[in-house]
């Protein structure tokens, strides 16, 4: 067999490196696209909250915590029957997410909650003819109940990561455009720098196959091992929401991975056709 | 280059490269990611460790009950030591985990007959009274600090008086204490109890005033000394 000339081998190596760079860019582009469509999208979180029964579970959890507070402060369990209004919970969560995603901080306004708690408390004191009420102790009870409500609505690490999160979210559109341009440039170079176009197709096929493997391996591992279900969160509502969101993200990544597989198969057959044409 | 030569160079179709190169690219991608993220790997892994556990989390609000009452006449496996005292054999004691019900606390004169938990978390105080997990279990020779809500299981503490008997029943033995006094102290007063005491003593506390609506700043403490009960042999094992 005739040995390939040195320049040809160097060219081949350069194209393989370019092909690898394309794999890396396609991988990052896919991850960034999924992030933009999921974590950086408040609608995604809110939709997952709705479909994972977040508000029903959360309402139960807050009620249980408030009943415990009631045991410590002389309030009957019945006081908290239907006390947590799911509409208020939903509105406050929506406001919390909107504030967070718009960069106004992860604030939860408990004014409505406190007003409604105070009104119910007045009614309870009157109905049960309770005389032993100390203003300071009552204020502490109302503030503690509001704190339980606020803590229950907060999403763990959201406020701590807000600076990084918002920076990444704001930069994401530029990163996406940059990656698309880079991927396009590399594809153009691979096609037009090769005299035989089928070789360009071959290098792009390597890149898409690499992207298929790199993207698919982690979600496949997570879904096969069930690692996501080992999330350790105190709140069942949050757990269900996070597991559902994580599964949705994994499925989205797997779909993109499958898309790259299809593209690779298509490119492979295109390469074969072009190759046969050249040989004939 | 002639057409013939060109065709010659295209002759060999290397299908293996369509499998080998993508696999190399896969590893290459993760090596690049590893190198890029290496400085923050410890943070990422410690955060992941915080958020993932070995087993699926159990959200059941049920608690584990390891309490099997010891009848008055039954003989516990004991060991007699150099001081000629009998000790409950360490391996006969099933040490409770946080949140386990492992005994009962009874003060007949106060109408108290409650489940006793290890740990004073929400589930424990919802179902009975709980030993603060930084204190000791009965028989271990230290301070036993028991908490309960004043509107539920420890409401009867308001009738506590010096000389009354407190019985704690566990699976490894029954312990009797005598109330030595009561006190009302600020919730933040750390002098109300001594967790480093080298003798067995029981402290029960709840919010004060009793039956008041709201969260109070004061706590009602009931102090008791050990009257009878076989201590645990601490020579091996942990408490």
Reported as a single tens digit per residue, the pLDDT across B8-50 is 455 566 678 889 999 999 999 999 998 988 887 777 777 777 7
DSSP state, residue B163: T
Predicted confidence (pLDDT) at residue B69 exceeds the cutoff of 80: yes
Give me the domains of chain B, ranges plus CATH numbers: 3-51 (no CATH), 78-228 (2.40.260.10)
A74-78, Cβ contacts within 8 angstroms, sequence gap of 24 or more: A74/A130, A74/B150, A74/B151, A74/B211, A74/B212, A74/B213, A74/B214, A75/A124, A75/A141, A75/B213, A76/A124, A76/A128
Task: Kindly provide the ipTM of the predicted complex, given to two decimals.
Answer: 0.83
How many contacts (CB atoms, under 8 Å) link A and B? 142
Residues of chain B contacting A210 with CB distance shorter than 8 Å: 21-22, 24-26, 28-29
Q: What is the rounded distance in angstroms from the CA atom of residue B105 to the CA atom of residue A36?
A: 57
- Mean per-residue pLDDT of chain A: 90
- The residues that bridge with B169 in the sheet, in sequence order, are B104, B174
B229 in Cβ contact with B138 (< 8 Å): yes
* Bridging pattern class, strands B201-208 and B143-147: parallel
Instruction: List all residues of chain B from 9 to 38 with a beta carbon under 8 Å from chain A.
Output: 9-13, 17-18, 21-26, 28-30, 32
| Neighbouring C-beta atoms of residue A246, cutoff 10 Å | 19
| Neighbouring C-beta atoms of residue B212, cutoff 10 Å | 21
DSSP state, residue B158: G
* pLDDT reported for residue B1: 46
CB neighbour burial string for B96-118, b if at least 16 within 10 angstroms, e if fewer: beebbbbbbbbbeebebebbbbb
Residues of chain A contacting B58 with CB distance shorter than 8 Å: none
Reported as a single tens digit per residue, the pLDDT across A162-212 is 888 889 999 999 999 999 999 999 999 999 988 888 889 999 999 999 999
Q: Does B198 touch chain A (CB under 8 A)?
A: no
Domain assignments of chain A as residue spans, ordered by start: 6-43+163-279, 54-153
CB–CB of A19 and B29 under 8 A? no
By mean pLDDT, which of A11-25, A74-88, B57-71 is the weakest?
A: B57-71
Predicted confidence (pLDDT) at residue A2 exceeds the cutoff of 70: no
* pLDDT reported for residue B37: 85
Which of B22, B51, B122 faces A210 most closely, judged by CB atoms?
Answer: B22
B97 phi and psi, to 5 degrees? -90, 165
* pLDDT reported for residue B22: 94
Predicted confidence (pLDDT) at residue A271 exceeds the cutoff of 60: yes
């Amino acid at each position: 067999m005739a040995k390939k000339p040195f320049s040809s081998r160097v060219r081949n190596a350069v194209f393989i490196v370019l092909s690898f760079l394309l794999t890396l860019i396609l991988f990052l582009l896919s991850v960034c696209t999924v992030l933009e469509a999921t974590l950086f999208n408040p609608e995604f979180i809110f939709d997952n909250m709705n479909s994972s029964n977040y508000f029903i579970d959360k309402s139960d959890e807050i009620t249980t915590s408030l009943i415990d507070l009631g045991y410590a402060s002389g309030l009957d369990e019945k006081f908290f029957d239907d006390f947590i209004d799911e509409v208020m919970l939903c509105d406050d969560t929506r406001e919390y997410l909107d504030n967070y995603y718009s960069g106004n901080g992860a604030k939860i306004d408990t004014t409505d909650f406190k007003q409604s708690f105070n009104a119910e408390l007045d009614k309870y004191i009157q109905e049960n003819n309770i005389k032993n009420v100390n203003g300071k102790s009552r204020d502490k009870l109302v503030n503690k109940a509001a704190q339980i409500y606020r803590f229950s609505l907060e999403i763990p690490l959201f406020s701590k990561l807000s600076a990084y999160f918002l920076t990444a979210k704001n930069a994401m559109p530029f990163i996406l455009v940059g990656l698309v341009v880079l991927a396009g440039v590399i594809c153009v170079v691979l096609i037009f720098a090769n005299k035989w176009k089928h070789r360009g197709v071959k290098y792009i096929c390597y890149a898409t196959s690499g992207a298929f493997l790199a993207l698919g391996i982690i979600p496949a591992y997570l879904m096969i091992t069930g690692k996501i279900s080992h999330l350790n969160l105190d709140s069942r509502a949050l757990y269900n929401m996070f597991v559902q969101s994580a599964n949705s993200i994994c499925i989205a990544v797997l779909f993109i991975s499958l898309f790259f597989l299809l593209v690779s198969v298509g490119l492979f057959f295109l390469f074969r056709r072009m190759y046969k044409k050249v040989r004939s | 280059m002639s057409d013939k030569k060109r065709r010659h160079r295209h002759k060999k179709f290397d299908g293996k490269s369509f499998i080998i190169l993508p696999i190399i690219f896969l590893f290459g991608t993760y090596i690049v990611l590893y190198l890029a993220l290496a400085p923050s790997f410890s943070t990422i892994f410690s955060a992941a460790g915080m958020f993932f556990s070995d087993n699926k989390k159990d959200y059941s609000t049920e608690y584990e009950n390891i309490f099997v009452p010891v009848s008055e006449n039954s003989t516990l496996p004991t060991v007699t030591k150099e001081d000629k005292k009998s000790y409950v054999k360490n391996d006969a004691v099933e040490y409770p985990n946080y949140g386990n019900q492992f005994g009962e606390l009874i003060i007949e004169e106060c109408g108290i007959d409650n489940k006793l938990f290890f740990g004073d978390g929400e589930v424990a105080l919802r179902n009975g009274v709980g030993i603060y997990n930084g204190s000791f279990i009965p028989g271990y020779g230290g301070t036993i600090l028991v908490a309960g809500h004043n509107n539920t299981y420890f409401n009867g503490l308001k009738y506590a008086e010096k000389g009354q008997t407190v019985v704690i029943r566990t699976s490894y033995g029954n312990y009797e204490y005598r109330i030595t006094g009561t006190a009302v102290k600020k919730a933040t007063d750390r002098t109300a109890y001594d967790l480093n005491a080298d003798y067995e003593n029981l402290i029960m506390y709840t919010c004060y005033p009793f039956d008041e609506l709201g969260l109070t700043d004061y706590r009602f403490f009931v102090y008791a000394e050990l009257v009878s009960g076989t201590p645990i042999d601490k020579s091996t094992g942990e408490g």
